[in-house]
Amino acid sequence: MLAPDRNRDRTNVGTAAQACPERSRRGCPAEQSSAASPPNIQRRAFLAMSAATIAGLVFWQWRKPAVLGAAPAVDSEPKEVTVVLFSDAGQRLKQVRIAKIVKTVAEWRKQLSAGVFDITRNADTEIAFSGKYWNLHDSGIYRCICCDNALFDSATKFESGTGWPSFWAPIAAENVTEIRDTTFGMVRTAVACTECDAHLGHVFDDGPEPTLLRYCMNSASLRFVART
């Protein structure tokens, strides 16, 4: 997630070519032009298309490791972590030491939708203004979509204008983990769930008082629970 991250919107726009009218007695102009093209022109077109294909593959191979670099490393051995438990009403219960949730890729794919998997497990970013929580103003808490760990309280949510739900503090410092992220040629701080390592978003130093921080989160990484 950039600051603000509007450069990763992925919109495919295309226009289908119109068919040549059957009633034309001279044939389709495009077909005539193609048939009349000298061999050297056709060869140059083929080479240009091949170069574009190779460039696209190279870009994807560069981009994919960069995106994955923002995700926390998965430990092969289970370990314990410290988190603070909260009721759905937002009441702080107690600090506990629990086993970190570790699952295989296949297990996460079975539990999560494709889009949520890409964001939480591969550190992808949802398109700005596309998430269901960026404009939500209800009172409640936000839990991790992967493990239900309490992450943020609506009391710290503010309107950042970025198109992503933004908070000036987590519900408990123990419940989130900050990771140095050097992808895309810049230094940022990624934020992950302490309990299961789900990628949540990034934190920036342009937020409001009292922390001056902006935790810019993906809606797809969160599950909102309204206060009753």
Domain boundaries, the chain: 39-68, 80-226
Name which residue leads in pLDDT, 109 or 19.
Answer: 109
Count Cβ neighbours within 10 Å for each residue of 94-124 and write b for 16 or more, e otherwise: eeeeeebbebeeeebeeebeeebbbbbbebb
Q: Which CATH class is domain 80-226?
A: mainly beta
Percent of the chain at pLDDT > 70 equals 66
Residue of 144, 147, 196, 216 marked catalytic: 216
Please write the tens of the pLDDT for every residue from 76-128. 556 999 999 999 999 999 999 999 999 999 999 999 999 999 999 999 999 99
**What mean pLDDT do residues 57-75 have?**
48
pLDDT of res. 32: 40
Q: Is the pTM of this model over 0.75?
A: no
Q: Which amino acid is at 23?
A: R
Active site residue 144: no
**What mean pLDDT do residues 139-167 have?**
98
**What mean pLDDT do residues 27-54 have?**
45
pLDDT of res. 228: 77
Least confident range from 15-29, 109-123, 155-169: namely: 15-29
**What mean pLDDT do residues 157-173 have?**
98
Percent of the chain at pLDDT > 90 equals 64
